[in-house]
Chain A
């Protein structure tokens, strides 16, 4: 339930970033900050020519599917995806802080959502597999 809500929210944020960026602009930071434009304009914002946010949309869609589906495969896939998403979010946050030297609120929001999804998916998996026989 939590995972479904968070993943849906994540799709919304990642889609906003991708659409704002594809129009030649960048996401608008709240409170008039300029960090979003700095981050969107940096060379780190694209992987092989594809906006990083597009990878985010794909990840959240798969996480949403994993949250909605039942069964062991969905649990494991959800955990693996959330772990990958969390790991990549840690890397992107490191880039913002130490390489780009600017913080984009939308990216931080996505990183928080991915952290929540990692926690929820970890509990979902460990709570099931770890139950003693």
Chain B
């Protein structure tokens, strides 16, 4: 209260010292500057919002389940296309095609349980390898996932792609769609991601893992394999129908 009264008395003194005309002019000037401040503030916020929106919307569609995917993978390390503690003794490998609807079903119904029970605890890590069998569009899609993996967002990209998957070979895998998925997955350096996903190294990796899946005799996607101290190299599992089957395979490989 004493602070306020001191301020009031100062203001009174100042106001008394000023002539009536000066005060009126001063008030007008302050209102003008105040209006300018409000205008500038609104412009600043508008610019920030436009920049924020323009860098987030890669296309004209809205991504589904961005928050859900983020929550599902929250707190789990991602390195390249591997999800989970790099020191985990068992590796579960998913050979998948991002355009494959059965893979999408696995991603939504089965893999989350395995992530929660085995990957989050550090018992196993899970790796995504491209097995492109649907159409040519699966190749740039897989390369985009690997490029996201270069920035620690490989699994976020794969999961978000599955959640927003379109009909097989319908032409929806455009640059705009892939960019939107990358942004939604949290890929920060989009220019680097763009350059990586078109590089020979990344495209070759898509071809190599596809050839590997064929050599292993895998006939469809998703196909799983497991590797650990209890296996001799990569042990194929085919397409187990439940999370429990995958969990048992992980336990057997440890």
The residues of A with any CB-CB pair to B shorter than 8 Å are 1, 34, 37-38, 41-44, 46-49, 55, 72-73, 75-77, 79-81, 83-84, 87-88, 91, 95, 99-102, 125, 128-129, 131, 133
**What are 9 inter-chain pairs, A to B, with CB distance below 8 A?**
A43-B55, A43-B184, A48-B55, A76-B34, A80-B37, A83-B37, A87-B41, A99-B66, A131-B15
The proximity string for B residues 28-51 relative to A, scoring 1 for CB distances below 8 Å and 0 otherwise, is 001101101110111011001101
Q: How far is the CA of A113 from the CA of B36 in the complex (A)?
A: 24
Cβ–Cβ contact A44 & B56, under 8 A: yes
Cβ–Cβ contact A80 & B41, under 8 A: yes
Interface of A is mostly: helix
Other CB < 8 Å A-B pairs besides A43-B188, A129-B27, 8 of them? A34-B71, A38-B74, A55-B48, A83-B38, A84-B42, A88-B45, A95-B52, A102-B67
Given contacts A41-B186, A79-B37, A133-B20, A88 and B70 within 8 Å (CB-CB): no
Cβ–Cβ contact B56 & A72, under 8 A: no
Which of A34, A49, A99 is within 8 Å of B188, CB to CB?
A49
Cβ–Cβ contact B41 & A81, under 8 A: yes
Cβ contacts under 8 Å, A133 to chain B: 20, 23-24, 27
Cβ contacts under 8 Å, B3 to chain A: 1
Cβ–Cβ contact A87 & B34, under 8 A: no
Q: How far is the CA of A81 from the CA of B3 in the complex (A)?
A: 25
The residues of B with any CB-CB pair to A shorter than 8 Å are 3, 11, 15, 20, 23-24, 27, 30-31, 33-34, 36-38, 40-42, 44-45, 48-49, 51-52, 55-56, 66-68, 70-71, 74-75, 156, 183-184, 186-189
Given contacts A76-B30, A129-B31, A133-B23, A42 and B45 within 8 Å (CB-CB): no
Cβ–Cβ contact B33 & A72, under 8 A: yes
* CB of B42 to closest CB in A, whole Å: 7
Cβ–Cβ contact A129 & B52, under 8 A: no
Cβ–Cβ contact B30 & A77, under 8 A: no
Cβ–Cβ contact A101 & B66, under 8 A: yes
Cβ contacts under 8 Å, B75 to chain A: 34, 37
Cβ contacts under 8 Å, B36 to chain A: 76
Q: How far is the CA of A91 from the CA of B186 in the complex (A)?
A: 19
Interface of B is mostly: helix
Cβ–Cβ contact B27 & A101, under 8 A: no
Cβ contacts under 8 Å, A43 to chain B: 55-56, 183-184, 186-188
Q: How far is the CA of A1 from the CA of B7 in the complex (A)?
A: 13
Quick one: closest B residue to A36, CB to CB? B74
Given contacts A43-B183, A44-B52, A44-B56, A87 and B74 within 8 Å (CB-CB): no
Cβ contacts under 8 Å, B23 to chain A: 133
Cβ–Cβ contact A76 & B37, under 8 A: yes
* CB of A64 to closest CB in B, whole Å: 17
* CB of B247 to closest CB in A, whole Å: 23
Residue from B42, B66, B184 having most chain A Cβ neighbours under 10 A: B66
Cβ–Cβ contact A88 & B48, under 8 A: yes
Cβ contacts under 8 Å, A1 to chain B: 3
Cβ contacts under 8 Å, A87 to chain B: 41-42, 45
Which of B34, B49, B51, B156 is within 8 Å of A48, CB to CB?
B51
Q: How far is the CA of A38 from the CA of B184 in the complex (A)?
A: 11
Cβ–Cβ contact B52 & A102, under 8 A: no
Cβ–Cβ contact A129 & B67, under 8 A: no
Cβ contacts under 8 Å, B74 to chain A: 34, 37-38
Cβ contacts under 8 Å, B156 to chain A: 41
* CB of B31 to closest CB in A, whole Å: 6
Cβ–Cβ contact B71 & A77, under 8 A: no
Quick one: closest B residue to A55, CB to CB? B48
